[in-house]
Structures are given as structure tokens and as C-alpha cells.
Amino acid sequence: MHICRTIADIRTTTAGFRAAGESVALVPTMGYLHAGHMALVERAKSEGQRVVTTIFVNPTQFGANEDLSTYPRDEARDLAMLQAAGVNAVFLPEVAEIYPEGAQTIVETTDLAKILIGKLRPGHFRGVATVVTKLFNIIQPDVACFGEKDYQQLCVIRQFTRDLNIPVRIVGVPTVREADGLAMSSRNVRLTPQDRAAAVILSRALTQAADLAKTGITASRLRAWVAAHIQSEPRADLQSADIRDAQTLRSISGPLKAPAVILLAVKFGAVLLIDQRVVTP
Ligand code: PAF
């Protein structure tokens, strides 16, 4: 497995893959890998002949009061997991390699970045779109895999890839869950044992909402039911519960007629968890 810390190094490595006629599948991550990331790697292996993973805790997608400094990191463990999974190259740049002095260009999906998580975390999707565009330009993959857990992020990435004519195929990979249903996330390790137990309310609410969606319920009643269900858990601090068109993320009302996505953002102590589920009428 090639371990590259500079742009020059990863470019030489991926140029070698392409010169051999091999397609490249990219899995961008912020490290502290878990089974959810490894599902992305497995999918990437079936989508391309060579798999490149990036590990970069991107500072521009964290707000001033967010958890950049406490974001969990374990490079040695991550590298061992990627090696065991058969990844061909890893790119682990320093912040200055990605954001040199004097940079002033950003990528922003003007509408999608303002709604939902974008309201709770202003600037977050600008940081994601900018860094993912840079990673696409540095690595030039044929295909890139992202988790459906970060549903709005996936929509943002699909949108700017289309808008900027970036020749990368975007693949969404289903959320991997713990045995009790909690969506896997690097942030889960920061939950207290009590909050960890209580956090199961997210996936339970979404599972029940999927059944309710089939009863002819309206979008607003379904949203209200999910919000009330989450709020019945005293440890859960509901930040947002939304129901949107699953394709466009536009608001919907009235009886469900097409696939809709329910998106949750819930705090347990200082830890913000998100989860989502596409439901069909
Ligand atoms: O989903 C993530 O881990 C990050 O947002 C990403 C896509 C690697 C960009 O920093």
C-alpha cells in the first residue's frame, strides 16, 4: 500500500495506476475508521481496479465552536485497517498541503448548503465541497464512494460534481449500523454510556416512520410524529427533524406521493448525531 503525504506523491502513484490502464475508485475520509468506512472501501473495490483512500480532518468544514480539536484520530490503526482491506494507496496530507497560504477559492452549492444541516452548521458544506473538489482534482478518480448516512453531503457532492462537470461517478453506499441500529459514526465513541444507550432512539424512530409512511399520512404529520418520538427521550436534544423530497431535498407537504427522506440531527451532551432514512409511501 502506497502511503503518500504530498500531492506530488499521490499524483505520481495514481498516474502509475492510470498508465497501467487501471481505473481508480476514491474513498475520502476523515480517518478514525469504522465498519461504515470499510463498507465504502469494499464497494470501491467493486467499482474500480485500484482503491485510493484519503485521511484528512478538513478544518474548513468545522465551525468555530465545533469539535475540530477533539475529533478522534488514530493514524496507525487506520493504516493497518486499510492495508488489511487491500487498499492500494492512502493520501494523508497536512493541512498546509491542502490549504497553502494565499488560497482564496471556494466551492459552494448555493441553495443546498443553506438548508437543514447547513443551517445548524453555517459554512460546513462550503468546506466539504471545497475539499472534495480539491481531492477530485488531485486524485482524478473515475468513481468516488460516499456514505448515505451523510445524506445531505451526498446530495451536495452530486450537485457540484454535475454543476462543475467533474468527470467522476458518485456512488452512495447504505449506512452501516451497530447491532441495536445506531448508525456508525466516528463521533459515537464520545457518547457517555447513558447517551450511547439513549441514542438508539434515532434509528427506532426512523424504522417506525418507514411503516407510518405507508399509511397515507401527510408529510407534516409524519415529521411531527418523528420529532415528538425523539423528544420523548429525555437525553435527546433535538436540533432538527425534517422530511424532504429524497432526490432534491425540497420541502414537501400533503400525503406522501414519492420517496421522501427523513433527516435527523440530535445532540446528546456535546455530541451531534445525524441519521436519515428514505421512506416510500
Ligand atoms: O464524510 C466525511 O468524512 C467528510 O465530510 C469528507 C467527505 C471526507 C470531506 O472532508
CATH, residue 273? 3.30.1300.10
Q: Is the CB of 58 under 6 A from ligand 1?
A: yes
- The answer to whether residues 11 and 105 belong to one domain is yes
Confidence of residue 82 (pLDDT cuts 50, 70, 90): very high
In this model, does residue 186 exceed pLDDT 90?
Answer: no
In this model, does residue 181 exceed pLDDT 90?
Answer: yes
What is the amino acid identity at position 268?
A: F
- The answer to whether residues 167 and 229 belong to one domain is no
Cα angle: 273, vertex 274, 280; to 5 degrees? 150
Q: Is the CB of 155 under 6 A from ligand 1?
A: no
The Å distance, Cα 197 to ligand 1 centre, comes to 26
| Within-domain flag for 192 | yes
Q: Which of 2, 34, 37, 229 is catalytic?
A: 37
In this model, does residue 45 exceed pLDDT 90?
Answer: yes
The Å distance, Cα 30 to ligand 1 centre, comes to 6
Specify the pLDDT at position 189: 92
Q: Which domain holds residue 68?
A: 2-173
Q: Which atom of ligand 1 is nearest to the CA of 56?
A: 10
Contact 222, 243 (CB under 8 A): yes
C-alpha cell at 115: 438548508
Specify the pLDDT at position 52: 99
Specify the pLDDT at position 67: 83
- The answer to whether residues 248 and 125 belong to one domain is no
- The answer to whether residues 59 and 195 belong to one domain is no
Q: Is the CB of 128 under 6 A from ligand 1?
A: yes
- Which residue's alpha carbon is at the smallest distance from atom 2 of ligand 1? 29
- The answer to whether residues 151 and 211 belong to one domain is no
| Mean pLDDT score across all residues of the chain | 97
Please say if 37 is a catalytic residue: yes
| Within-domain flag for 271 | yes
Q: What percent of the chain has pLDDT over 70?
A: 100
Specify the pLDDT at position 38: 98
Q: Which atom of ligand 1 is nearest to the CA of 147?
A: 1
Q: Is the CB of 156 under 6 A from ligand 1?
A: no
Overall average pLDDT of the 127-143 stretch? 98
Q: Is the CB of 130 under 6 A from ligand 1?
A: no
Residue to mutate (ligand 1; options 131, 134, 187; most atoms within 8 A of CB): 131
pTM (predicted TM-score): 0.93
The Å distance, Cα 102 to ligand 1 centre, comes to 23
In this model, does residue 88 exceed pLDDT 90?
Answer: yes
Residue to mutate (ligand 1; options 57, 58, 135; most atoms within 8 A of CB): 58
- Which residue's alpha carbon is at the smallest distance from atom 1 of ligand 1? 29
Q: Which atom of ligand 1 is nearest to the CA of 54?
A: 8
In this model, does residue 66 exceed pLDDT 90?
Answer: no
Q: Is the CB of 134 under 6 A from ligand 1?
A: no
C-alpha cell at 96: 498546509
In this model, does residue 125 exceed pLDDT 90?
Answer: yes
Q: Is the CB of 150 under 6 A from ligand 1?
A: yes
Q: Is the CB of 127 under 6 A from ligand 1?
A: no
- The answer to whether residues 214 and 151 belong to one domain is no
Confidence of residue 120 (pLDDT cuts 50, 70, 90): confident
Cα radius of gyration (the chain):
19
Overall average pLDDT of the 217-230 stretch? 98
Residue 176 has phi, psi (to 5 degrees) of -95, 135
Specify the pLDDT at position 123: 97
Specify the pLDDT at position 191: 97
Count of domains for the chain: 2
Find the CATH number of the domain harbouring 138: 3.40.50.620
